[in-house]
Amino acid sequence: MDKQTLFLSIFKRAERTFGNSAYRLAGERWEEPWQTVIVTIMSAQSRDETTIPIAEDLFARYPTLVSLAKARYEEVLGCLRSMNYNRTKARHVIACAQEILTRYDGHVPEQIEELITLPGVGRKTANLVVTECFGKPGICVDTHVHRIANVLGLVKTKTPTETEFALMKVAPQRYWARINRVFVLWGKVAPGRDRKKLVGALR
């Protein structure tokens, strides 16, 4: 079986199982693109259930990009206190807001190459933003996507970035934006690298 056929077989089963889930991932359903950027920076190494309420509190306190860009580090750190890597994230959140304002006149850039120049933004965040906010093709690869794609033999890669580019060759572009949500929900119910357990979680 060629890799594209394998991908389609796996993805269609995974989408049948998880595609209609009401579970909200951290980077979903924010009103403004800048909020999506900030939340995704915050979500690194943190659970969605932890990130979303903290982000809601942060945006209640700083409802505009301007107010967040002017925020004091100690106050943002206080909002993020219960998160992993809170000091680094607090610095990145403020610096990213400032750069979106100064370099892009308050508009989140729509190109991955520009997004990854912002503080705290890597390819995972950039791909999520372009797909979630701007409807552009992109594959957001987090630990779940990287793990599942390798365990099931879709790719043979060592890093999430390698996985992103390898999946681009395997998955038809019309599926790219949906891979992250489906694989993340799948990964949450089937942790580890046991192929049988991963496949067993599907209908």
Q: What confidence tens digit (pLDDT) does each residue in 72-130 have?
A: 999 999 999 999 999 999 999 999 999 999 999 999 999 999 999 999 999 999 999 99
Confidence of residue 36 (pLDDT cuts 50, 70, 90): very high
Of the CA atoms within 13 Å of residue 81, those in its CB half-sphere come to 5
Decide if pLDDT at 40 tops 90: yes
132, 99, 118, 182: which is closest to 31 by C-alpha?
Answer: 132
Q: Are residues 45 and 118 in the same domain?
A: yes
C-beta neighbour count of 82 within 10 angstroms: 10
Contact assessment for residue 63 and residue 31, using Cβ atoms and an 8 Å cutoff: no
Which of 105, 134, 163 finishes a domain? 134
Show Cβ contacts of residue 73 under 8 Å, excluding neighbours closer than 6 positions. Answer: 90, 91, 94
Report the 10 Å Cβ neighbour count for 96.
Answer: 24
Q: Please indicate, yes or no, whether residues 125 and 143 belong to a single structural domain of this protein.
A: no
How far is 164 from 68, CA to CA, in rounded Å?
A: 31
pLDDT of residue 95: 98
Residues 128 and 90 in one domain: yes
Whether 58 maps to a domain, the answer reads: yes
Question: Which one of 134, 156, 186 terminates a domain?
Answer: 134
Number of domains in the chain: 2
136 is catalytic: no
pLDDT at 34: 98
Q: Which of 70, 89, 124, 197 is catalytic?
A: 124
Q: Which of 79, 110, 134 is the last residue of a domain?
A: 134
Question: Up-side HSE of residue 92: CA atoms within 13 Å toward CB?
Answer: 22
User: Do both 16 and 41 map to the same domain?
Assistant: no
Residue with the two structure tokens 């089937």:
190
pLDDT of residue 203: 86
Residue 96 and residue 112 in one domain: yes
Q: Are residues 166 and 114 in the same domain?
A: no
Q: Which pLDDT score, from 0 to 100, does residue 1 have?
A: 80
What is the extent of the structural domain holding 183?
A: 3-21+138-200
Mean pLDDT calculated for residue range 173-185: 98
Do residue 159 and residue 110 come from a single domain? no
92 with 183, same domain: the answer is: no
SS3 annotation, 96-138 = HHHHHHHHHCCCCCCCHHHHCCCCCCCHHHHHHHHHHHHCCCC
Count of C-beta atoms within a 10 Å radius of residue 113: 8
